[in-house]
Amino acid sequence: MTIASIKRGYQVIKTILNYGLDDLISKHKAPWYFRMARASLFWLRNKHKDKTSAERLKLAMQELGPVYIKLGQMLSTRRDLLDDEWAYQLAMLQDRVPPFDSALARQAIEEELKAPIESLFDNFDETPLASASISQVHTATLKSNGKEVVLKVLRPNVEQKIRADLLMMSQGANMLERILGEGNRLRPAEVIEDYQITILGELNLKLEALNAIKLRNNFLDSDALYIPYVYEEHCYPRLMVMERVYGIPVSDTDALKAQGTNLKLLAERGVELFFTQVFRDNFFHADMHPGNIFISEEHPENPYYIGLDCGIMGTLTEQDKRYLAENFLAFFNRDYHRIAQLYIESGWVSENTDVLAFEQAVKVVCEPMFNKPLDEISFGHVLLELFRTARQFDIVVQPQLVLLEKTLLYIEGLGRQLYPQLDLWQTAKPFLEEWMSEQVGPKAMYNKVKANIPYWSDKLPEIPELVIDNLKMGRKLLGTQQQMLDRYLNFQQKSHKSQYLLITSAVLLICGTILFTQSVTLWPAYVSISLGTVLWLVGWRSRPKNRKF
């Protein structure tokens, strides 16, 4: 534990107590050590008694910085867990974080461009258009083509702040791992490490620009998603320049209704987009909170999404993707045995798991969902519960699945906000079934063979040569193995011989010594001792020396 992390730890605790967030834990439910720790920090008191609890939580998160703001953003979409007031307050963390000094923004931009802003842009607006957890956004016009753009610039020292928080978190996780002991399957340190990679990745705007370009290309012909054009030549680690887009923030349901947006279609398109990104492209936007999503103002009867902030993108392995799709389908078909089997086959739970007990536990989680009205079923919640259940059965936490689960929760929260009756099953099922039919069966086989033709046509001429090389290698390997075996046998033989001689010599020496002290006639003692000495010398010299085979 470093001094910096102790300082930061104190700052976190101080902020929590100064905003009276400890009041959220009811006094008689708190464990004794919590009450004792609280009482020992008697000088830290709630300084914001005039504000509501939700407001205090928002302010505390805002004060604690990006890592906590991001947590608040995520929570704000969980309307199934939070009351309206809480969700409303936390939603403010999406793009209404207090701005930083524009002079600092200008300085950072010019440092990256290595030129004055005015040499490349006109109408640079000193007042930020928006200010979020990681960055601040200013508008301008690009001199070269006269188009409206936004300049997204990182907050000053954001990286140091995030690193300090992550360090504290990872130390906490290591401590937890030690408390949980060897063999625990939660792997908190690994989860934090993964979160670290993700969030630190977001601190490089050049990387974000490349992600945005890739996502834009994946959806160029789509009528469901638009990603703004990125001016890659003006993107740097701390600066990103892209097309300015206009739209209605997805959380502004009133404005969407006022312009007559087809909310049902929009909610369904959201689900489709999620599945297309995960299963078709294996490249999904993993930071889909409402602050990052706008809705088109044009043709509201056929609305599309505008996606921003491609800092956190997720991918799954082919195998995880396949298991996940099968898992969803098994779930739609209420095939709990298959779900249990899939968890084991995919290696998400240990192969020693009792399938029947696990199947029963899965059924307990899933079955009640089907008895609820549509608008009360939470897809993300089911997945969350499944993971929680599986944890009791020795699940290995898969960081990429945690990211996916988080995204699914976002999407669902969003869909429900837009269109409460959204039927997630009906929207997702045909998509998954089609995808699965492309993965298995004759069509999939044909596609795989077709995809591999260039590889095989490249490799085919090399095959005779490879066969001969392999045969030669095999023969050489056999020869080497035989030599090793011979050396080993020789070693064993020598070692046995030497041991036999040493033991016999020891017996002769002991007998000789006894005869020497007990007997009147001394010559048998001399013979025994001499023979014993000679045998010891021979045995010692014949020891095998080289243990390498």
Cβ-contact 420, 374 below 8 angstroms: no
Residues 192-251 that bind ligand ATP (CB under 6 A): 228, 242, 244-245
Residues 71-110 that bind ligand ATP (CB under 6 A): 95
Nearest residue (CB) to ligand ATP, 215 versus 308? 308
Task: Say how far apart CA 237 and CA 9 lie, in whole Å.
Answer: 29
* 131 labeled part of a ligand binding site: yes
Closest CA to 34 of 22, 44, 20, 16: 22
Burial group, residue 224, by CB count within 10 angstroms (0-12, 13-18, 19+): middle
- Which residue has tokens 């968890």? 343
To 10 degrees, the CA torsion angle through 411, 415, 421, 426?
-50
Tell me how far, at minimum, the Cβ of 265 lies from ligand ATP, in Å. Answer: 23
Q: Does 417 bind ligand ATP (CB under 6 A)?
A: no
Task: Say how far apart CA 155 and CA 134 lie, in whole Å.
Answer: 6
Closest CA to 286 of 313, 306, 317, 316: 313
Nearest residue (CB) to ligand ATP, 297 versus 423? 297
* 107 labeled part of a ligand binding site: no
Q: Does 532 bind ligand ATP (CB under 6 A)?
A: no
Task: Say how far apart CA 362 and CA 339 lie, in whole Å.
Answer: 8
* 137 labeled part of a ligand binding site: yes
Residues 145-184 that bind ligand ATP (CB under 6 A): 150, 152
Annotation marks residue 83 as catalytic? no
Lookup: tokens for 324: 């996940």
Exactly one of 95, 165, 287, 320 is catalytic; name it: 287
| Count of residues interacting with ligand ATP (CB under 6 A) | 19
Tell me how far, at minimum, the Cβ of 383 lies from ligand ATP, in Å. Answer: 23
Annotate 238-289 with DSSP letters as a single string. Answer: TEEEEE----EETT-HHHHHHTT--HHHHHHHHHHHHHIIIIIIS-EES---
Nearest residue (CB) to ligand ATP, 244 versus 429? 244
Tell me how far, at minimum, the Cβ of 158 lies from ligand ATP, in Å. Answer: 9
Closest CA to 340 of 389, 278, 384: 389
Nearest residue (CB) to ligand ATP, 117 versus 511? 117
Candidate segments 83-91, 307-315, 325-333, 485-493, binder of ligand ATP by CB under 6 A:
307-315
Nearest residue (CB) to ligand ATP, 186 versus 200? 200
Q: Does 308 bind ligand ATP (CB under 6 A)?
A: yes
Give the interface with ligand ATP as residue ranges (CB under 6 A): 95, 129-130, 132-135, 137, 150, 152, 228, 242, 244-245, 291-292, 308-309, 311
Annotated binding site for ATP: 129-137, 152
